[in-house]
Structures are given as C-alpha cells and as structure tokens.
Amino acid sequence: MYMVGTVVIKWGGGLITYKDELCKPNLEVIRSLAEICSKTDKKLVIVHGAGSFGHLKAKNFRLAEGRVEGLQQDHAVVEVRQDMLELNHLVVTSLKSRGLDVRSFPPHEWAEGTGPFFSGDLPLHSGVTVVYGDVVEDQSCGFGILSGDDLMVRYATEIPDVVRVIFAVHGVDGILSVPPDKAGPNDLIKVWSPGMEFEGEHASEIDVTGGIGLKAARGAMIAQHGIEVTLVNGENYERLYNAIEGKSVIGTRIIAGNS
Ligand code: IPE
C-alpha cells in the first residue's frame, strides 16, 4: 500500500473555545477545522486542547497539583472529565459530518501520569484518531492534568509514518518576539529553537498547563526526532491546509537546535 504519511495536529483549546467563558465552544472554528481536515489525504491524529472546558474549573479546584489536602476536588475531577467529553463530542461529530472515519480515545481511560513520559499504550484508529488534554490518574498525586501538548510528543514520536506535526493556535501567527498586542509582521519568529527568547500570551491566571511556552518546548522535543514541526495561526484555514500538505506557510518552524 502507498503510504501518504500521518500528520499529527493540535487544535489548541483557545482556538476551539472561548477561553474565558465557561464551556463555550467556538463552533464555527470547530466546523472549519473539520472541513480542512477532511480535504487532505494524509492520515490524521488530532489532539485537541481544553480551553474553557478544562482550565477554568481545573484552576479553581487546583487539579493540576493533584490531590490537595482539605480541598473537595473529586466532584471537579468528574465534572472536568465530563466537560471534556462534551467538547470532544463536538469535535468528533463535526469531523464525522465531513464523512471522516473517526475514533476518539478519552485519555482518562488509557493514560496515567502527566508530562511527556506518562504511561499507557497510545490507541490508534485506522481512520482519524482523536485524543485530548484530560484529567488522568497519577500514582503519586492521585490525579493530574495531562496536556494535549504532551500527547503530541508521544504520538509524533511513537506511531509509524509521521511526516509532520502542526500546532494550530489562536490569536497569533506563530511564536513572537514581542507581546502579541504589540507585534507587527516583523516580530514573528520564523524559525525557533530552544534557548531563543520569545513572548507568550500570559494567561497563567487561566491556564493550568503551559501556554505557548509548553508548545514550543514540546515542539522542540518532537523536532529532535527529525520530524518537521510548525506552529500556525489556526484561524487562517488556508495556511493550516497548506501546512498539513507540507507547503511552506507563514508561521514558526520549531527546530531542535544543537544543544
Ligand atoms: C488541558 O489540555 C486539559 C485540561 C485542562 C483538562 P491542553 O493543555 O492540551 O489544553 P489547551 O490547548 O491549553 O486548552
């Protein structure tokens, strides 16, 4: 069989939800991303983020810290998992409505531990595989937040035939050298490697995972395996499509550097 190769794509949570309104999906973006993904003949693994379906409650109940004595967190663990299933359902439904053969694998059912070295065998479907950032069990902390960016590392480096990796993000054209609200076209870093300074969206008051810095770091881990990694503005659908097809686009190419 002729292999066209697999592309692993992250749909950032800030892209597919309205980040500061609890559990509010951006259906138009989800629909458009699904349409783009239906146009390629590449095999796809889609990893989606949480945005307002994950970060707000996770932050309130300090879920990223694991079990915290004196806090009633159990209900929040259940709720965030349910909220994520709901967002995942929207993603899967919209991909299926484009005729794609999709299967989703909720990480709390198969992954344990957080960070890129979490344990669990990566589930893979013969069609489009979908996974997402989730609240997972953790041996030492009870539970924790497994970021989609960590899932990206493992999928990109452990499944066969990965030809490239794309992080589709909200609000920026790539990694910037100045804060996003001050950036012009010349402030886009076209090629980024670890050690280079950059400015990220500062959302630590909302985010329980690492924002653009985590994507950059995880992207570099992936690039170390010789895989092409690009971070693009996910609201520019033409760019995203071209990136999937391997054409050069406006965005940031992440390389491993030689450190
Ligand atoms: C976070 O996953 C998961 C939860 C908060 C439950 P990500 O780190 O992949 O999410 P985004 O892309 O930042 O929203």
Question: Is any atom of ligand 1 closer than 6 Å to the C-beta of 209?
Answer: yes
Closest C-alpha to 231, from 3, 9, 7, 4:
9
| Number of residues assigned to the chain | 259
- Compute the distance from residue 133 Cα to the ligand 1 centre, in Å: 5
- Compute the distance from residue 147 Cα to the ligand 1 centre, in Å: 5
Q: What is the DSSP string of the chain?
A: -----EEEEEE-HHHHB-TTSTT-B-HHHHHHHHHHHHT--SEEEEEE--GGGTHHHHHHTTGGG---TT---HHHHHHHHHHHHHHHHHHHHHHHTTT--EEE--GGGT-BSSSTT-BSPPP--SSEEEEE-EEEEETTTEEEEE-HHHHHHHHHHHSTTEEEEEEEESS-SS-BSS-GGG--GGGB-SEE-TT---B----TTT-SS-HHHHHHHHHHHHHTTT-EEEEEETT-HHHHHHHHHT---SSEEE-----
- Compute the distance from residue 228 Cα to the ligand 1 centre, in Å: 23
Question: Is any atom of ligand 1 closer than 6 Å to the C-beta of 50?
Answer: yes
CB 233 within 8 A of CB 241: no
Ligand 1 atom at minimum distance from 55 CA: 5
CB 128 within 8 A of CB 101: yes
Closest C-alpha to 18, from 51, 50, 48, 47:
51
Ligand 1 atom at minimum distance from 151 CA: 9
- Compute the distance from residue 172 Cα to the ligand 1 centre, in Å: 18
pLDDT of the residue at 181: 87
Q: How many CB atoms lie within 10 A of CB 58?
A: 28
Residues 6+ apart with CB under 8 A from 120: 107, 110, 111, 112
Rounded Cα gap, residues 140 and 125, in angstroms: 31
pLDDT of the residue at 201: 60
The one-digit pLDDT tens for each residue of the chain (259 residues) are: 556 899 999 999 999 999 999 999 999 999 999 999 999 999 999 999 999 999 999 999 999 999 999 999 999 999 999 999 999 999 999 999 999 999 999 999 999 999 999 999 999 999 999 999 999 999 999 999 999 999 999 999 999 999 999 999 999 999 999 888 888 989 999 999 999 988 876 555 667 787 888 999 999 999 999 999 999 999 999 999 999 999 999 999 999 976 5
**How would you label 161-190 residue by residue, b for 16+ Cβ within 10 Å and e otherwise?**
ebbbbbbbbbebbbbbeeeeeebeeebbbe
CB 154 within 8 A of CB 122: yes
Is the C-alpha dihedral spanning 231, 236, 238, 244 positive or negative?
Answer: positive
- Compute the distance from residue 106 Cα to the ligand 1 centre, in Å: 13
pTM of the model: 0.96
Residue to mutate, 21, 55, 80, 231, ligand 1, most ligand atoms under 8 Å from C-beta: 55
pLDDT of the residue at 145: 98
Question: Is any atom of ligand 1 closer than 6 Å to the C-beta of 208?
Answer: yes
Rounded Cα gap, residues 259 and 253, in angstroms: 17
- Compute the distance from residue 22 Cα to the ligand 1 centre, in Å: 14
pLDDT of the residue at 117: 98
Closest C-alpha to 247, from 255, 238, 234:
238
Residue 220 has φ and ψ, to the nearest 5°, of -65, -35
